[in-house]
Structure formats: structure tokens, C-alpha cells
Structure 1
Amino acid sequence: MSTPQTFKRSFGLLDATMIVAGSMIGSGIFIVSADIVRNVSSAGWLVLVWVLAGVLTLIAALSYGELSAMFPRAGGQYVYLKEAFNPLLGFLYGWSFFTVIQTGTIAAVGVAFAKFTAYIFPALGEQNIIADLGFMKVTAAQLTAICVVVLLTYINTLGVKEGKLIQTTFTLTKIAALFGLIIFGLLLAARKDVWQANWQSAFTLQRLEPGGLLPYAGLAALGAVAGSMVGTLFSSDSWHNVTFIAGEIKRPERNIGLSLFLGTLLVTVIYVSTNLMFLGVMPLQEIAFAESDRVGVAASVHIFGSMGTYIIAALIMVSTFGCNNGLILAGARVYYTMANDGLFFKQLAVLNKNAVPAKALWLQCIWASLLCLSGKYGQLLDYVIFVVLIFYILTITGIFRLRKTRPQMPRPYKAFGYPVLPLCYIIAATTICLALLAYKPMFTWPGLGLVLLGIPVYYLVWGRQRTAVAQQQAPAVPEPAEDDMK
């Protein structure tokens, strides 16, 4: 049987929406609110930070709809940056995407799955050291994370149908479970006195320490809000994974933009509602200093008693398993497209007999597994949030550039609220980036350095390969006739 050279359009609107929502919802919603409360010390700011992240994500998703309709093929953001600007910028995104953005997220979500699995099966916990190699220790949790990544990679090499089934099933399950947690929390465990106490100083911005409140001086408050946005933006990230599989979506000019809107709106509603439930169930002090920042576990114990730990552990297992499936499924399509453009290993530019990029899937699996073992993926994700925002800013700027440079291109869908909403996103995201540069330099400059490292890699490693591919793809120029040469 010959190897297929094109993707099959197998994803409908529901499947695409589940890719968006499923890739967004991992373990962050159950954890990051603790750090936010420590930074802002108020119920109003906690909710506002989540709302702001949701609004920014919605604006970006509505803007990406125009780009996805213009370029309805595999590759997503990599393709948009390459087409709007140049191949180098597209490569720098793809380089960052492979080295840490996607693979680091896959590793982090895999380890989160393993940590909460250990609540039910303690033998799979971090305390169980399988091997001590001197320079590193291999734990049962790390091996569990790797096994999950390998299993999901294998399933996705079998074809789109298998990956799609897992994604849709697990995403619908965790959405239903999250709404159930919110409803049970508000009905069974919410207390009027706790709610009123949390909202007494709703928008007083201070840092919450175990010993009391510390006021911010000057612009440090802006740094606190920007620092809080790191967690919410990461929890809301990966919504654009659906654009990576554009070549496999039915009616992509319609369904990608619509799935981006529906998926991001649904997740924003869930995230804000979950935090309102936290505020009704627990005092701010308990949210801020929940053990290991596991706010979801603390809330579940209030709702369900001693069984709450196991209930939330099972919910997070379902959530992270489905999340990782979406990340693994979508990420490999970027490397495949880059390889076809001569900007990545050329061996990845093939589909297997099931019409999926199996070699790209396995390369992604190997690197993500190594990040699971390294123990450094958490730091890398902190470093790269600044870079992720920069690429989002550049991509949405690309809409303005393409309107000017390619006005004749068909645009079945146009960015909602253009130019006001895309410009608002650019301004807001740039403000957050500048605040992070000033107040979180340990997280911003290393991430920027990682991206810039891709420049010599581009010219030294893939410059010649890209030139060769471009020559192969260029149409042949006919020899001039003898009469024409006279």
C-alpha cells in the first residue's frame, strides 16, 4: 500500500471545539489560583485576572479565525508567521515550539497526571525512586508520565479516528465533571460568611504573606498583576492547537474560526465559575496557602469530605489525559509542515499509511520524555510565557500586515472587531510583556535567549536544506526558443 501524501479531513465542528477546550483545560485551574491570591490578596482581583485572561484569549481566538480561513492547512501559527513576515520568523516560532512550548507542556501535563495518579496508587508517586543515576534520580511518577506520553503517541499513529475519539470523549467528560464540581460546591459547601469576608476588600491590591498583608509601592502593583497573569495565561493557552490540524478539518474556513470562539468561551466560563466557587467555599487565606498550591483538592475536601481527594484526583487524571492527547495530536503537524518547507528534519515530511505524521509524533514523544526526566520543564515553561506572548502579538500584527500586502487574498472570515479588538490585544499583551521584563527578569530574558538561539540554528543547519527544497518546488523554466534568443 502506498504512503498517503495528504491529510484526511475527518474533524467536524464538535471535534474541533473539543480540541480547543481539551487542550486548554489541564491541571492549571486546580493550582494557579493560590499564587494569584498571594500576589493580589483580594477576591475581586482574583476573578478579574481570570476574566482578563479569558477576554484576551477570546480576542486572540477571534482574530486567528481570519488567518485560519486564509491558510486552511496544517501548521497553524507557524504558517501564519511565515506568510505574514518571513521564513525565519516562522522557524523561530517552530524552534521554540519544539524545544519547549509544546513538548515542555506535554511533559508538564504528563507529570501532573502522574502526581495525581499517586493519590489513588501511592506506588506511582515521586517518593518511589526507581533508579539513582548519580546526576539524576528516576522516579515512578516520571516513568508514569513517560508511559502516558508514549501510549498517547502510539494511539495517534494509528490514525485520526483513534485520536479524535479519545479527545472528544475525555473532553466532554471533564467539562461535565467540572460543571458538576462547580454546582456541588455552590450548593453543598458555599458559606455566606466566607463569601462576604472574601469580598470585604474586593479590589485592595496587596501581597498576602503568612504573617499578614504587604502593600505594593508605586508600579510594583502592575508587576504583581502581570506576574499573576502568567498562571492564568498558561492555563488558558494551547487554544490555537486546532489551527495546527487545519488540513484535517471539514470546512476549515468556517469550522476553525467557530471552534476557536466556542471552545475559548466555554473554557473562560468554566474558569471564572470555578474561582467563584473557590471564593464561596474557602477563605482567601486557605486558597493562598493550600498545601502544594492544590486549591482544587482543598475545595473538593470541603465539598465531599475525606473522599474529596480521590474525586479531584480522578477528575485531574481525566483532564490531563485528554489535554495531553490534544497537545500530542496537534503538535506533530507543525513539525511535519516545517519539514515540508525545508525548515526541519526532512524525514518528518511524510505521512504513514494511516495518513498521520508518525515520525513527527515519535520525535515529539522522545523529546517530551527527556523533558519529563530532566526535571527542568517547569522552569522552561516559566521562561517561555514571555516568548509565547510575543509570538501571539506578532501573529495578530500579521493580520494588519497581510491586509496591506495581500489585500486580494480571499478572506471567508474576517477578524471580529478589526482593527479595534486586535489592536487592544496587542496593546494589552505588550503591556504585560513590558511589566514582566521589568519585574520578572529571571523568567523573561532566558526565554528570549532561547528564541534567539534559533537564529544561528536556522542559518547553519536548515539554510541549505530550505534552499534545496525551494529549488525542487519551483516550477521549471522552459528553455528559450532559438528565435527568441536572436
Structure 2
Amino acid sequence: MKEREHYGLSTAVSMIVGISIGSGIFFKSDDILQATGGSVWLGVLVFAIGAFCVIFGSITLSQLASRSTKKGGVISYYEEFVSPRFASAFGWFQMFVYFPTITAVVSWVSGIYTISLLDLTMTLERQTLLGFGYLSFFFLMNYLSYKLGGRFQNVTTIVKMIPLIGVALIGLFWTQEAPALPQDIVAVESSVVGWGFLAALAPIAFSFDGWIVSTSITQEVKNHRKTMPIALTIGPLIVLSVYLAFFLGMIAIVGTEYILSAGDQAISQVGNSIFGASGEKILLAFVLIAILGVVNGVSLGYIRLPQTLASKSMVPFSDKITQISDKKGLSPYAALTAYLITVFWLAVHYLTQRFDVLAGGDISEIAIVFSYVAYILLYVKVMGLKKSGLITSPFLGTIAPVLGVTGSLIILLGGIVANPVYSPLFLLFSGSICVLGYLYGVRGNSSEEVDL
């Protein structure tokens, strides 16, 4: 059954913006300022460097998106331009690790902010149960109605922009003095950090993660050969603009010293400064909406993934999973498979948090670092297309891929520095899943060669 073209440019862009802008931006300003020693313009520079590394990666992949004739997003790029076996390897990673771990974690985070908003007692069990409820709701909604999923994504993307742009605009005209620090907070002054400011690149790069999910609906986007390259270019640029505007607006309202000293608590003071005593709750409501937009966007892309892999006979029980409902336009078995894998990872996440297995980290770190490493092979392939003359632009065929590779290596370095003990284990685990997928994909393709 041929995929129907449901979505337009606005939905593709809103998926990129909606998934990339989650809760992280509300709590990244203090990390950036701390890494830059309180230098605002150095922080802006680092934002730009980190963001453009990601942007060049998306621009590079847009060259494959515009030439792809198959469904599956990044998986189809591997299949068409690298090798079906490598496509199977990456597909297994996305299906069994990347999508479900991210979906499980952001669902759990939604539970955290719901509890905060409602002033309930904060427990891991309550957070997890609420997260389970959220992910169940969004999986069901996106299966029952593609229109509701797309509309919710568009609406939440717009809604979450309100506090970000609002803080940015208010900051332009803010004339009040910076608030005094609470007595229980020790003042932290600006300092010279030298090359230490590069430590800020990793959290910035991580805050952009999610843009790749939009490629999973490529074949369902109207005129996708022209639309997806535009979306993959515009989306990250919008995210960068919003991040920078909010960063500067927040600094204008509470000042660098307050952000350096109060850390994550600074966002509450921004709400109090603008809206008064109820300001914190107002911002929490917007943050919750932002995260729910991420849950919806990731689940919207994920429920199609098992169906895509099954259509290429890359997973067990492919005959069953490829049975598409004429009414829904999706496979119920694919949706159920994605849902059950996500529930499994949510249970794993609960256990790792309960027993502090990951030393303050979470299971999504497994996916985020490895995924960027995996993109390097596609960036190299684009450079190969330039060498063969299929891409004539030096910028699109050489400069953008090189900068994309650089961005991926920065993220890898940042992940290892942030968690030197567990990151290598995450990479090894993800690599093992890829090996299993590769071996499964070997069936019937033993004579295939990889030409880079």
C-alpha cells in the first residue's frame, strides 16, 4: 500500500522545532554562562558554533533527502546511498534504542513537571506512572488519527514559543535592576575561563537533538524532495534564533550574576520578575506543554519505524508488521511493537534511576551520542557524491559535510567528557545492537558491496 502524503512544510518544520525545543532550553542558560565564565557574548558565540555544527549536518542530510526515493528517513539514506546491510544495522539501533529511550525519558520528564505544576509529592514512582500515561496517550492518538498528531505538533510548537519569544521581547525593554540573590545562595562572579568555554559546546549540541526524527515522515510529506531539504535547513535555524533570543532576554531580566549563582532556579525568578508570585507556575505550564510536544513528535515518528523496517524485511515477523490498516494508513502491529519497546525502556529507566545505576545520567544518553557518530558515515557519502559529480556545489558537497562531521565529533567528545565511565559502555551497547541488525540484514545480501 502506498504511503499517503499527509503533511506539509509546516508540520515538517514544527516537528524539528517542536522536538528540538523541549525543556532543555529553559535550563541551559546557566550551563552556558558557567562554561564561559559569565561572558554573554562568548556564550552567544558558543551557541552559534554549536548550532551551526548541527545545522550543517541537517543541510548535508538534505542532499540525501532530496535524492531519496524510499520511505524511512535516515534508514532509507543508508539503504540507497550506503548499503542495505548498514541500513538494517542503523534501523535496529533506531528501533530498539534511539526512539524508545528518548520517548521514555521525555515522557518521564513530563511526569516530573506535571507533579511540580500540581504541587504533588515528588516520587519516582509517580513520575514514571504519569510518564507511562503520557506515552500511552500519544501513541494511541497518533495511531488513531494522523491529523490529530500533526495538529497537536503544530499547536504545541506555537504555544511553547510564547514564553521563549515573550522573555526575549520583554528583555529588550527591561529597565528594572537585577533581583537580589536569596540569602541561601552563594554569589558567583564572572571569571576568565580561557579555552574552557568549549565545554559549553556539548550541552548546546545536545539541546538541538531531535531534528533527525522529522526524516521518518519524509514519504508522507507533500512534494518531499523539495520540502524536506527546506525543512531540514529552516528548522535548526529557527531553533538557533529562539535559543539566542531567550538566552539574551533571560540575562537582561535577572542578570548574569543571578544566573551564575542560582543556576536552574534562575528560570523561576524570571517568571516572578515578569508575572509576580504566580510567574513560576505560568512558566512551568509552558514547559510542560513544550515537553508534551516532544513526546508527541517522537511518538509520531516512531510508530512508523517498525513498519518501514518490516517493508524491507529487516526485522523478524515482517509479514505481520507490514499489514497496514486501510482506515488508519498505518500498521497496528508496528504501532504496538513501538509502544511495547518504549514501555520496556521506561521500566529500565525506572530501575536505573531507582538504583542510581547511571550516576545521574539517563538511558537517552545511550542514543544521543551514538546517533551522531552514525551520521558521520552519511556525511562522508555526501562528500563521495560531490567527488563523483552528482553534487556540484562545493558548499553542499564538501564544506557542509566537513562541518557536520566536526559537529558530530564535538558531541562525541562532549558526551565522553560528561560521563567518561558510562559513555563508552553506551557506545559499545549501541554498537552491539547495530551488529545484530547488520547480521540480520545480511540474509539475501551476501554479495553486496559498500561503495563510499
TM-score, scaled to structure 2: 0.84
Residue 29 (structure 2) pairs with residue 33 (structure 1): yes
Alignment of 1:244-259 (within 5 A): 244-259=216-231
Residue 399 (structure 2) pairs with residue 420 (structure 1): yes
Residue 467 of structure 1 corresponds to: 444
Residue among 3, 10, 15 paired with 1:7: 3
Amino acid at match of 1:451: S
Structure 1 residue 252, shift from structure 2 partner: 0.5
In the aligned structure 2, how far is the partner of 1:357 from the partner of 1:119? 37
Secondary structure (helix, strand or coil) at the match of 1:274 reads helix
Residue 288 (structure 2) pairs with residue 317 (structure 1): yes
Residue 144 of structure 1 corresponds to: 130
Structure 1 residue 468, shift from structure 2 partner: 9.5
Distance 1:262 1:274, change over 3 A: same
Which residues of structure 2 form unaligned runs of 5+?
180-185, 354-360, 448-452
Amino acid at match of 1:139: E
Distance 1:78 1:277, change over 3 A: same
Residue 350 of structure 1 corresponds to: 323
In the aligned structure 2, how far is the partner of 1:78 from the partner of 1:27? 28
Residue 358 of structure 2 corresponds to: none
Residue 479 of structure 1 corresponds to: none
Residue 57 of structure 1 corresponds to: 54
Structure 1 residue 436, shift from structure 2 partner: 5.2
Residue 130 of structure 1 corresponds to: none
Structure 1 residue 23, shift from structure 2 partner: 1.6
Residue 109 of structure 2 corresponds to: 112
Distance 1:70 1:415, change over 3 A: farther
RMSD: 3.1
Give 1 or 2 for the bigger CA radius of gyration.
1
Which residues of structure 1 form unaligned runs of 5+?
128-137, 195-208, 471-486
Deviations 1:381-406 (A, max 9, x none): 3344332221222222121234456x
CA contact (8 A) 1:62 1:415 kept: no
Residue 474 of structure 1 corresponds to: none
Amino acid at match of 2:83: N
Amino acid at match of 1:332: I
Residue among 173, 193, 199 paired with 1:187: 173
Deviates more, 1:445-454 or 1:244-253: 445-454
Distance 1:328 1:41, change over 3 A: same
TM-score, scaled to structure 1: 0.79
Amino acid at match of 1:99: F
Structure 1 residue 9, shift from structure 2 partner: 0.3
CA contact (8 A) 1:29 1:235 kept: yes
Query: Identity over aligned residues, as a percent?
Result: 21
Residue 405 (structure 2) pairs with residue 429 (structure 1): no
Count the aligned residue pairs: 429
Distance 1:350 1:41, change over 3 A: farther
Residue 304 (structure 2) pairs with residue 333 (structure 1): yes
CA contact (8 A) 2:205 2:411 kept: no
In the aligned structure 2, how far is the partner of 1:268 from the partner of 1:211? 27
In the aligned structure 1, how far is the partner of 2:98 from the partner of 2:241? 25
Alignment of 1:45-444 (within 5 A): 45-123=42-120, 125-127=121-123, 139-188=125-174, 191=177, 221=195, 225-226=198-199, 228-290=200-262, 293-345=264-316, 346=318, 347-353=320-326, 354-373=328-347, 374-375=349-350, 376=352, 378-404=361-387, 417-431=396-410, 433-434=412-413, 437=416, 440-444=419-423
Distance 1:154 1:188, change over 3 A: same
In the aligned structure 1, how far is the partner of 2:13 from the partner of 2:394? 18
In the aligned structure 2, how far is the partner of 1:190 from the partner of 1:8? 54
Residue 15 (structure 2) pairs with residue 23 (structure 1): no
CA contact (8 A) 1:328 1:361 kept: no
Distance 1:370 1:390, change over 3 A: same
Secondary structure (helix, strand or coil) at the match of 1:379 reads coil
Amino acid at match of 1:385: I
In the aligned structure 2, how far is the partner of 1:301 from the partner of 1:166? 29
Distance 1:210 1:117, change over 3 A: same
